[in-house]
Amino acid sequence: MVALAAALPSAMAAYAGFNYGSTFTTGAAKEQSDFEAEFKTSQGLVGAPGVFTSARLYTMVQAGTANDPISAIPAAISTKTSLLLGMWASAGDAVFANELQALKTTISNYGKDLNGLVAGISVGSEDLYRVSPTGVLNKENPGAEPLTIANYIKQVRDAISGTALAGVPIGHVDTWTAWVNASNQAVIDGCDFIGVDAYPYFQDTMPNSIDNGKSLFDAAISATQAAVGGKPVWITETGFPVSGKTVGQAVPSTANAKTYWDQVGCPMFGKTNVWWYTLQDAAPQTPNPSFGIVGNTLTTTPLFDISCKNVSTASASSSTPSSTGSASGSGSGSKSSTVSVPTSAVAGGGSPGAGSGLASSQLSLETSALPTATGTGSSSGSGTGSNTTVVTTGTPRPSTTVVTTPNGAGVVSGSVGAAFAAVMAAILVL
């Protein structure tokens, strides 16, 4: 299998944490004490396989203000929580200017207190997916064009130059179907890291029962790695709902959420940068579907066993390519299954995003109180695959040809298509 996810230098541990929004479902802004409560809960989860001490944010702006820094910043400092900072990039230049100002103020106000706490800065979240044919078809909220995101990345790079955050990795978070689309190459070129959101639960154009969840996830990451030219791949969102509607063959339940955690999460925790979706999906109302591992009441007792005991972790590997571009892994305890799929990438339905028409957690997670800031839907077009071995002679690069799948998702042909076909061929011989 083309190697999964990025490894930090050996002297460092991989980041592990969850995604956090700026507001509650009531629209009320989260304050410093709210973030502190969430971060402490994450760090104290009963049975956790290690400590979840990192938080991914979607905006730099405190809800209800024009450009004040989000109160998650001082909360992270006080609780020693590392941060994948987020900047909302789908609401136009004026709103992004406020995000940039909030970043600058954060550096000015907190400076050296942030040393060692900032994992990276994500410029945008699923903006490319939402502007794609699939995003438009799914009636997602507005996105942003690749050249816009590339320009925003440059602005952020200029803004942190010579500051306490100089040298912090800058990247973008999007769905794997966005990363394998050659029209988004300008964003890849501008990134230090590639953030991937992948949800087999929403992959309803393919067999997406929980038995195939790991295969779907693995292929999504493999296809992304093949497309991004050796850049580190971080897992910025993935998870399986504990309750809610059935999508295709994917049935939400705590049992299935545990299976997905065991098969997908456990092999990566401590080895790969992972921000799971999520600790608490939304509060006080429970969204449909709900991905929160503790439910809508903040508690250190998860809804299912998260210990990773008696779970194989042999399948986790670095996504920093080797000289031969090959890697291998073994299954994590799931039964073998054959998935018959097309050899081109196919996007599934929406994700936990507000734009998907669901009463969704991302409405809380990905919006600030600014009227112009909009929520997202995740693609989740994660392709299919298997935890098997795929050997390449180098890192495939995308061609400039974009083809359209039957559901309207633009994907690349050529080298990336060939790489994806290789993954599919390996699956079909299981």
Catalytic residues: 126, 237
Cβ distance 54 to 275 under 8 Å?
Answer: yes
What is the C-alpha to C-alpha distance for residues 341 and 370, in angstroms, rounded to an integer? 42
Strand partners, 118: 83
Instruction: Count the neighbouring beta carbons within 10 Å of the beta carbon of residue 245.
Output: 11
309 Cβ neighbours under 8 A, 6+ residues apart: none
Sign (positive or negative) of CA dihedral 282, 286, 292, 294: positive
Query: Token pair for residue 314?
Result: 């042999």
250 alpha-carbon distance from chain centroid: 19
Cβ distance 202 to 380 under 8 Å?
Answer: yes
